[in-house]
Amino acid sequence: MKRILIYIEQHHEQEGLDLLETARQIYQEEPYETYALVLKSQYDALKGIFDVIVDLSEECLQEYEMRAISEVCYQLHKSYHFDAILFPATSWGRLIAPRVAMMLDTGLVADVTDIAHGEHGLELIRPAYSGRIMASIQITGDGPMMLSVRPGVFSYTQHKKAATQIRIPQDLRYRTGGLKETGRKEKHSEYDIRESDVLISGGGGVERYFHELRPLAELLGGHVSASRAIVDKGVADRNVQVGQSGKTVNPRLYIALGINGALQHIEGLRNVDYIISVNTNKYAPICSLSDIVVEGDAYTFIHRLIDTIHKEKGYEGH
Amino acid sequence: MKIICVVKFVPDVDNFTYDHEKHIIIRENSRMMVNPDDACAIGFALKMKQRSPDTSIEVVTMAPESVLPLVEDILRVGVDTATIISDRLYAGSDTYATSRVLSRYLSGATYDTILTGSHAIDGDTSHVPSQIACLLDLNHMSYISRIDESSFSSSLARFEVESEQAVSSYEIQMPAILGLTRASGYRLPYVRYKNLNMDVSDRVTVIHNDVLCFDESEVGLTGSRTKVVGTHVKTYKNRSHHVVTTDQEGIDTVYRFLKDKQFI
């Protein structure tokens, strides 16, 4: 029976659960056992789903103590001999996984977005060159195989009922110190674009009036997102960035205003039902992916569409 | 204080050549540049050198020797020395093999801290800083968006890391590896006109495998733990789209579409 260790990042339990779908696609019909590694004991969402929860809460480790966490992973592997170790490709996951891979002398594939079983066997697929090419990668050597997996691309929907064992490892040896958090300012994000059904998204073309997108988003029951062009300029917050270097989103409707649609942006549009793009260049790459292309200026589009919606609503009200 | 900046030269992602047979980047032919995050690391080191002129900066890179002119330009803006680690045997190394090569050099070097970037725009695995930290047994932090310049010393650094949820402040004891991001705002200066032809050749060292002594099986494609078995340019399903303009007729088309699909 194969054994898979999945690292659960604090406050990102869903990303950890979604890695069960990655594991299922890797091992398909082969039997396997799933182990969740948790730093703090808030894991109700994982109970009944994972076979084993390895609870490290007694160790009081902080998520930034990467050296200690990787030393723990190393020791767990020495006792359980995992076949695969999966991390969510979150900020911490992407910093811890490479250390673990080096300690285990094994191959690690970063930011996996797809699994394929090709002629060479298992292939892990990831974007490279800012999303311009997709690379299929195999892990060579004796393993275990290690992956960091891009959040938002695999989705675990089954509700397997497993009798979950909780294990508290004893006699762990690791080193802490040398690094400490001295302050933390929470960002207050009103919404998560990954959960939005409707996204009104702005790019370089709306730099001067990005704030005008919000009323349209509210009218359509959605939220505002942005492309890298406008985030890099500091106009929009990185929290709402769609694309390879931002988030992968799955809205039903995506309205792209002044977005060119470089591959790195399109990489973030996973399962979008409808795309409307508004662009002064009707040959911009995003236009060929759109259901409707509005050739013209986004400012005019926003105001005319808002007026039309109000007017039509007004008629219906009478 | 001695600062080592570990940097990568990357192809300009808008213009690169990829060997689809061997699955490697043809670096010799593509226009290369310092990876943007790594350029911030050099920019910050130069700032520190301005504050305390006894700071010395060494840039270390593993790259084909063809990057020499780019490395020389880095020396012309105030970096003291540069080391290019280059050997035919190292071509095709994955992040695991690359980290081992760089770490072997760094383990024999003297430094108070190692600065680097957080992401590279080509591979974008972010593995190398963490793996070097592991091999050199150092603490490491990436995604640094601000460093406190006044408290930066050979024993301590204070900095901020911006994540999705928060901005956190940290204190790290040196030596350590610090990975900056472009959000830090540091820049690699341009070479001044009067320095354009400055002879810096005596400040560059090229190191081959005769110094680092890796066995052929430990580096390059054979020493890697991952291999690229295929690449493709991603294609997306084009939709049969309707082109309208922003006149009332166009807006009405969009309105009806939104209404049909029940968004209104």
Quote ipTM for the complex. 0.88
Place of tokens 């020791």: A75
Measured in angstroms, the CA of B114 and the nearest CA of chain A are apart by 15
Paired strand residues for B19: B24
**Cβ contact B246–A95 (<8 Å):** no
**Tens digit of each residue's pLDDT (9 = 90 or more) over A246-256:** 888 989 999 99
* Helical H segments across chain A, by residue range: 13-27, 66-80, 91-103, 213-219, 228-232, 263-266, 298-317
From chain A, the residues in CB contact with B10 under 8 A are none
Which regions of B174-225 does DSSP assign to beta strands (E)? 176-180, 204-207
Q: What is the pLDDT of residue A261?
A: 87
DSSP structure class, residue A244: T
Q: What is the pLDDT of residue A271?
A: 80
Exposure pattern of A35-44 as b/e (b: 16+ CB <10 Å)? bbbbbbeebe
Flag whether pLDDT at B217 surpasses 60. Answer: yes
Residue of A233, A184, A244 lying closest to A204 (CA atoms): A233
Residues 14-53 of A with CB under 8 A from B: none
Residues B187, B190, B191, B194, CA torsion sign: negative
Nearest CA in chain B to A280: B245
CA–CA distance, A31 with A2 (Å, rounded to integer): 6
Dig out the tokens for B165 from the structure. 């949820």
Measured in angstroms, the CA of B16 and the nearest CA of chain A are apart by 9
DSSP structure class, residue A235: S
From chain A, the residues in CB contact with B164 under 8 A are 91, 187, 189, 238-239
Q: What is the pLDDT of residue A162?
A: 74
CA–CA distance, B62 with B90 (Å, rounded to integer): 9
CA–CA distance, B59 with B41 (Å, rounded to integer): 10
Q: Does an H or E element contain B253, and which?
A: helix B248-260
Extract the residue ranges of chain A whose pLDDT is less than 70.
160, 315-318
Average confidence score pLDDT of chain A: 91
Q: What is the pLDDT of residue A187?
A: 78
**Tens digit of each residue's pLDDT (9 = 90 or more) over B80-139:** 999 999 999 999 999 999 999 999 999 999 999 999 999 998 888 999 999 999 999 999
Measured in angstroms, the CA of B154 and the nearest CA of chain A are apart by 13
**Cβ contact B13–A132 (<8 Å):** yes
**Cβ contact B257–A291 (<8 Å):** yes
CA–CA distance, B169 with A138 (Å, rounded to integer): 38
Residue B228, φ and ψ in degrees, nearest 5: -85, 120
**Cβ contact B246–A296 (<8 Å):** yes
Q: What is the pLDDT of residue A316?
A: 61
Flag whether pLDDT at B28 surpasses 60. Answer: no
For B192-210, what is the mean pLDDT? Answer: 96
Domains of chain A with bracketed CATH: 2-167 (3.40.50.620), 193-316 (3.40.50.1220)
CA–CA distance, B24 with B91 (Å, rounded to integer): 9
Residue A261, φ and ψ in degrees, nearest 5: 95, 45
The CA-to-CA distance between both ends of chain A, in Å, stands at: 67
**Cβ contact B245–A288 (<8 Å):** no
The answer to whether the peptide bond before residue B175 is cis (omega within 30 degrees of 0) is: yes
Dig out the tokens for A94 from the structure. 């992407």
Q: Is B137 left (phi over 0), alpha (psi -120 to 50) or beta?
A: left
Average confidence score pLDDT of chain B: 92
Given CB atoms, is B261 within the 8 Å cutoff of chain A? yes
Contact B46, B79 (CB under 8 A): yes
Instruction: Provide the angle, in degrees to the nearest 10, between the axes of the packed helices B127-136 and B95-107.
Output: 40
**Tens digit of each residue's pLDDT (9 = 90 or more) over B64-79:** 999 999 999 999 999 9
Flag whether pLDDT at B183 surpasses 90. Answer: no
Q: What is the pLDDT of residue B235?
A: 63
Exposure pattern of A252-265 as b/e (b: 16+ CB <10 Å)? bbbbbbbbbbbbbb
Q: What is the pLDDT of residue A39?
A: 93
Residue B162's SS3 state is strand
**Tens digit of each residue's pLDDT (9 = 90 or more) over B229-257:** 988 776 667 777 789 999 999 999 999 99
In percent, the amount of chain B with pLDDT more than 90 equals 81
